[in-house]
Amino acid sequence: MKVLIATEKPFAAEATAGIKNVLDNAGFEAAFLEKYTDKQQLLDAIADADAAIFRSDIFDKAVLDAGKNLKIVVRAGAGFDNVDLDAATANNICAMNTPGQNANAVAELVFGLAVYAVRNLFNGASGTELLGKKLGIHAYGNVGRNVARIAKGFGMEIYAYDPFLTKEQIEAEGVKAVGSVEELYSTCQIVSIHIPATAETKNSINYALLSKMPKKALLINTARKEVINEAEIVKLMEDRADFKYVTDIKPGNDAEMAEKFAGRYFSSPKKMGAQTAEANTNAGIAAANQIVDFIKNGNERFRLNK
Ligand code: 3PG
C-alpha cells in the first residue's frame, strides 16, 4: 500500500516522522511530495498511490481521476472545500477529514491576530485591550469552542451564533447564544469567523452584515476567504475608518486592501492557523491512522462522501 503525503505547505518534521511511523508499523509505504510548485507533480505522484493525505492542496476531479489506485484520501484538517467529493464518489474513493485535530492551533492564532490588531499592528500608537470587550464567535464548532475557552482567560464577554446547535448547548459553556447572525454582528465589537466555505456561506459576510458592527469594529478571519464578499468589505472599510480586518487567508484583492487600508488591515503571508508542530502531528497522525483503519478494517468514521 503506497500512501502519498501531498503537502504544498509541509508538516513539521516531527509530524512527518509520526506519519511515517504509523504507516511503517502497518506495513505501508509513505511517499512524501512536499513544497511542490506545479500541479503536474501532484498528478504524477498520485498515479500509483493507494491512499493520500493532503492539506489545503486542491484534490479536484483531475487529481482524483489521475489516482487510478486510490481507495481513500484524507484531508489532514477540518475544511474540505478543496476536495471534489462527487469525483471521489465517482471513482469509488472514500474521502475523509480529521475534524478537531488542529482546532486549538487555529484558536490560538485568533488571539495572536486580535492582539496585533487592537495594538494597531504594533505601530507605537496607543491601542486597546481585549478585557471586557464583546467577542462574537461565528459558528461554534471545534475551533469556536477553543476560541471561547481562551477568550475567558482574556476576560471577554463571549457571544456565539451557530444554526446547528441549540441555545442550551452553547450556553452550557458560559457563552451567550444569539438567535441570528445579524444579532451577533450588531452586538459584538470583535467577531471571529469559523464557518466553512459552502454554497450558502460564500460571500455571506457582506456590507449589510458588517455595517451592523459597533464602533471600532474588528473582524478576524481564520476560516476561508470565500465567505467574505471582497468588493463589499472594501466599500465598508472605505465608509468606516474605524473598521479593522485581519485575516489568515490572503483575499483575492489583498494588494488593494493593503494599499487602501494600511494600518487597519493585515493578511498572513502564508496561512498559519493550523501550522504548529502539535496540530500537524495531531492531524497528520489521525489521517494516517484513519487510512490504516479503513484499509485493514473498513472503518469509515469521518467519511465525507456518499
Ligand atoms: C483546516 O481546514 O483544517 C485549516 O484550514 C487548515 O488548513 P491547512 O492544512 O492548509 O493549514
Q: Which atom of ligand 1 is nearest to the CA of 274?
A: 11
Residues 97 and 121 in one domain: no
Residues 10 and 51 in one domain: yes
Q: Which atom of ligand 1 is nearest to the CA of 222?
A: 5
Residues 128 and 35 in one domain: no
Whether 77 is covered by a domain: the verdict is yes
Please tell me the residue having the least CA distance from ligand 1 atom 2: 79
Residues 109 and 257 in one domain: yes
pLDDT, tens digit, 9 for 90 and up, residues 68-87: 999 999 999 999 999 999 99
Whether 9 is covered by a domain: the verdict is yes
Residues 163 and 246 in one domain: yes
The CB of 56 under 6 Å from ligand 1? The reply is yes
Evaluate whether 135 touches 158 at the Cβ level (below 8 Å).
Answer: yes
Please tell me the residue having the least CA distance from ligand 1 atom 9: 55
Residues 93 and 119 in one domain: no
The CB of 104 under 6 Å from ligand 1? The reply is no
CATH code of the domain covering residue 35: 3.40.50.720
Mean pLDDT of 134-144: 98
- Structure confidence at residue 286 as a pLDDT band (50, 70, 90): very high
pLDDT, tens digit, 9 for 90 and up, residues 37-61: 999 999 999 999 999 999 999 999 9
In terms of Cα–Cα distance, which of 196, 187, 184, 181 is closest to 215? 187
Mean pLDDT of 158-186: 97
Cα 54 to chain centroid, rounded: 14
- Structure confidence at residue 216 as a pLDDT band (50, 70, 90): very high
Whether 305 is covered by a domain: the verdict is no
Percent of the chain with pLDDT over 90: 100
Whether 302 is covered by a domain: the verdict is no
Whether 12 is covered by a domain: the verdict is yes
Number of domains in the chain: 2
The CB of 214 under 6 Å from ligand 1? The reply is no
Residues 84 and 128 in one domain: no
Residues 142 and 290 in one domain: no
Neighbours of 176 (CB within 10 A): 15
Whether 304 is covered by a domain: the verdict is no
Q: Who contacts 303 (Cβ-Cβ below 8 Å, separation ≥6)?
A: 94, 95, 96
Residues 230 and 109 in one domain: yes
Output DSSP code: residue 228.
Answer: B
Mean pLDDT of 151-158: 98
Q: What is the mean pLDDT of the chain?
A: 98
Distance CA 266, CA 241 (A): 15
Q: State residue 58's pLDDT score.
A: 98
For ligand 1, mutation pick of 102, 106, 109, 250 (most atoms within 8 Å of CB)? 102
Whether 165 is covered by a domain: the verdict is yes
Quote the ligand 1 centre to 56 CA distance (angstroms). 6
Domain that holds residue 20: 2-101+275-297
Residues 129 and 263 in one domain: yes
Distance CA 274, CA 105 (A): 5
The CB of 196 under 6 Å from ligand 1? The reply is no
SS3 246: strand
Pairing of strands 51-54, 2-7: parallel
SS (H, E, C) 70-135: CCEEEECCCCCCCECHHHHHHCCCEEEECCCCCHHHHHHHHHHHHHHHHCHHHCCCCCCCCCCCEE
Residues 263 and 115 in one domain: yes
Whether 242 is covered by a domain: the verdict is yes
Quote the ligand 1 centre to 192 CA distance (angstroms). 16
The CB of 273 under 6 Å from ligand 1? The reply is yes
Residues 124 and 75 in one domain: no
Q: State residue 173's pLDDT score.
A: 86
Alpha helix ranges (H) inside the chain: 13-25, 39-46, 61-66, 85-90, 103-118, 142-154, 167-171, 181-187, 207-210, 230-239, 254-260, 277-297
The CB of 141 under 6 Å from ligand 1? The reply is no
Evaluate whether 285 touches 22 at the Cβ level (below 8 Å).
Answer: yes
Q: Which atom of ligand 1 is nearest to the CA of 77?
A: 3
> Does 95 have pLDDT greater than 90?
yes
Q: Which atom of ligand 1 is nearest to the CA of 223?
A: 5
